[in-house]
Chain A
Amino acid sequence: MTTTRELVLNTEPFLLNIGPVHPSTHGVYRMRATLDGEVVIDIEPVFGYLHRGIEKLMEERSYTGCIPLTDRLDYVSSMTNNLGYCMAVEKLAGIKVPEHAEYIRVIAAELQRIANHCLAIGAMLNDAGALGTPFFYLWREREKIYDLLEMLCGQRLMHNYMRIGGVSQDMPEEFLPALKKLIIQWQRFIEEFDFFLKQNEILIARAKGVGVLSRELAINCGISGPVARASGIKRDLRKDDSYLIYDRFKFDIPTGENGDCYDRYRVRIEEMRQSLRILEQARKQVPEVPAKAELPHLVHPPAGEAYAHIEAPKGELGFYIVSDDSIAPYRCHVRPTSLINLTALREMVRGWKVADLIIIFGSIDITMGEVDR
């Protein structure tokens, strides 16, 4: 990209470290950016500041004992991490989950998706310069979701709620009425919030056409989730490889056309609407039967391997588990959505200014706990 600066002034590229301790790198991500003035020529991502060796730790714990570790992968959506892991073990051991528990799982997962997108959108807008206001609007509403999740499992962030064969405890009596109230509140809130921002001149100026990710590149890089859908890839595992009871609900898969930051924002807003639709349907359909399958205390799957993947808020989250016929996984690999979604960042930011780099990075929505594991 030729800049006016280049034409009049002789400049030379220089290296700038962004992160690991930087408010807009959402954790401990570090980029070694090569800049020419304010223009990004190249970036080199540096990982590993949050590497805790979770895959290794899983090898020495029982199958149930691994669940709390999965909370600490993508720590802003631990419900879905729990779910992905439990589904992989259930697939490996051939365990059937009671219908009631499947409903609870869907409700918890969709609540988690909305909560995650609150952070994703809020942080992206923060990065765009809308400091505070939209972020705290979302934060206020996200807190209500966490109240509900706390009602289920007693925890706000590290839920540790899903169990192999079901969930740790049934939902309390007051949960469904509270959910009903929340859905009504949220339906109103999301319209209000979107009304403020949809045509917002500043957001459009900052996000439209910025950080375009083409469909071909997204497929080649293995990008999934809202980022892929914003680039026009109509893929959602809830429909394409339906799990739990998602085939019972009516919902749409929103997609974008341009694959820019604005589309990624739009897709997330639309996904929150669709999640509310699913919640509303699930709330009405929940049957009255036990929530956990009758299982021995120690799960002991036969030797073999299984891969289960779910549509987590950030994209395809998968667990590949190898069993050697013991009570602990022989090997457990997490398909890291956040790490793989970062693959295309380099191509997306080339030629943009540093300020754009921050919003492009923010629009991908990553959690370092999942990148480094």
Chain B
Amino acid sequence: MTAALSAEEIISQLNDKFPGAVEEAGADSVLVKSDSLLAAAEYLKTAKGLKFDYLNYITAVDYYQYFEVVYMLTSLENNHSITLKVRCYTRDNPTVPSIRGLWQGADFQEREVYDLMGITFEGHPNLKRIFLWDGFPGHPLRKDWNQ
């Protein structure tokens, strides 16, 4: 990835600003606690020198023990990127806060994750199924889903 600012620096900034929020730091990704996602995302979006103003994509992965929601952010100004992750450890109605208020681009993508992976985004103004019809049994991208 193009990285003018290394992920380490960004992570240490997040650690200073939100002590205890960072669960795990990877090479170019950072795993934050679900309850501090909104604050961390807003900080990344607005803080001087970071300015991650562009949301590349949102997706989710089912790892059986937990769901991982993945956000990739890019700063158009500085041309650097970071991947933000949150985990939900429950299979029964997993919930993460919605970032729709920060990025409108999250609108359809959060609906897609909700539809196919069954993760609820709290605070999303219009969270309903996007590709499948209402009443479709289950969420097909989950690993335990059977046809």
Q: Which residues of A contact B (CB under 8 A)?
A: 47-48, 51, 53, 55-56, 217, 219-223, 233, 235, 240-241, 307, 309, 316, 318, 320, 322, 330-331, 333, 335, 339-340, 342-344, 372-373
Given the known inter-chain contacts A235-B76, A339-B108, please indicate yes or no for A222 contacting B103, CB distance below 8 A.
yes
Given the known inter-chain contacts A222-B54, A343-B107, please indicate yes or no for A331 contacting B61, CB distance below 8 A.
yes
Which residues of chain B come closer than 8 Å to A240, judged between CB atoms? 2, 79
- Let me know if A48 and B131 touch, CB within 8 A: yes
Partner of A222, one of B105, B130, B133: B105
- Let me know if B57 and A343 touch, CB within 8 A: no
Which residues of chain A come closer than 8 Å to B72, judged between CB atoms? 307, 320
Which residues of chain A come closer than 8 Å to B112, judged between CB atoms? 339
Best-surrounded residue of A316, A331, A335 (most CB of chain B within 10 A):
A331
Which residues of chain A come closer than 8 Å to B1, judged between CB atoms? 241
User: What are 11 sample pairs from A and B whose C-beta atoms fall under 8 A apart?
Assistant: A51-B131, A56-B140, A217-B104, A222-B103, A318-B56, A320-B57, A320-B72, A339-B109, A340-B57, A343-B107, A344-B104
CA distance A357 to B112 in the complex (A): 25
Q: Which residues of B contact A (CB under 8 A)?
A: 1-2, 53-57, 59, 61-62, 70, 72, 76, 79, 83, 103-105, 107-109, 112, 116, 129-133, 140-141
Q: 15 other contacts beyond A223-B105, A335-B57, A343-B105, with CB at 8 A cut-off?
A: A47-B130, A47-B131, A51-B132, A217-B104, A219-B76, A222-B103, A307-B72, A307-B83, A318-B56, A318-B57, A331-B61, A340-B105, A340-B108, A343-B104, A343-B108
- Let me know if A331 and B62 touch, CB within 8 A: yes
Task: Tell me, rounded to whole Å, the shortest Cβ–Cβ distance linking A205 to chain B.
Answer: 30
Partner of A48, one of B70, B103, B130: B130
CA distance A320 to B57 in the complex (A): 10
Closest to A220 in B: B104
CA distance A344 to B76 in the complex (A): 19
Which residues of chain A come closer than 8 Å to B109, judged between CB atoms? 339-340
- Let me know if A233 and B76 touch, CB within 8 A: yes
Which residues of chain A come closer than 8 Å to B70, judged between CB atoms? 320, 333
Task: Tell me, rounded to whole Å, the shortest Cβ–Cβ distance linking A279 to chain B.
Answer: 25
Closest to B130 in A: A47
- Let me know if B2 and A335 touch, CB within 8 A: no
Given the known inter-chain contacts A240-B79, A343-B107, please indicate yes or no for A222 contacting B132, CB distance below 8 A.
no
CA distance A331 to B64 in the complex (A): 13
Task: Tell me, rounded to whole Å, the shortest Cβ–Cβ distance linking B73 to chain A.
Answer: 10
CA distance A47 to B126 in the complex (A): 14
Task: Tell me, rounded to whole Å, the shortest Cβ–Cβ distance linking A169 to chain B.
Answer: 32
CA distance A51 to B107 in the complex (A): 18
CA distance A129 to B62 in the complex (A): 47
Which residues of chain B come closer than 8 Å to A342, judged between CB atoms? 108
Which residues of chain B come closer than 8 Å to A241, judged between CB atoms? 1-2, 79
Partner of B56, one of A309, A322, A339: A309
Task: Tell me, rounded to whole Å, the shortest Cβ–Cβ distance linking B118 to chain A.
Answer: 13
Best-surrounded residue of B70, B108, B112, B129 (most CB of chain A within 10 A):
B108
Which residues of chain A come closer than 8 Å to B131, judged between CB atoms? 47-48, 51, 372-373
Task: Tell me, rounded to whole Å, the shortest Cβ–Cβ distance linking A53 to chain B.
Answer: 6
- Let me know if A333 and B107 touch, CB within 8 A: no
Closest to B45 in A: A220
Best-surrounded residue of A47, A235, A342 (most CB of chain B within 10 A):
A47
CA distance A316 to B54 in the complex (A): 12
Which residues of chain B come closer than 8 Å to A233, judged between CB atoms? 76
- Let me know if A221 and B132 touch, CB within 8 A: no
Given the known inter-chain contacts A331-B61, A331-B62, please indicate yes or no for A219 contacting B56, CB distance below 8 A.
no
CA distance A340 to B129 in the complex (A): 16
CA distance A222 to B52 in the complex (A): 12
CA distance A60 to B70 in the complex (A): 22
Best-surrounded residue of A222, A223, A316 (most CB of chain B within 10 A):
A222
6 smallest CB-CB distances across A and B, nearest first, come from: A222-B105, A48-B131, A333-B59, A51-B131, A335-B57, A221-B105
Partner of A322, one of B61, B83, B105: B61
Task: Tell me, rounded to whole Å, the shortest Cβ–Cβ distance linking B39 to chain A.
Answer: 19
Task: Tell me, rounded to whole Å, the shortest Cβ–Cβ distance linking A94 to chain B.
Answer: 14
Partner of A56, one of B55, B83, B105, B141: B141
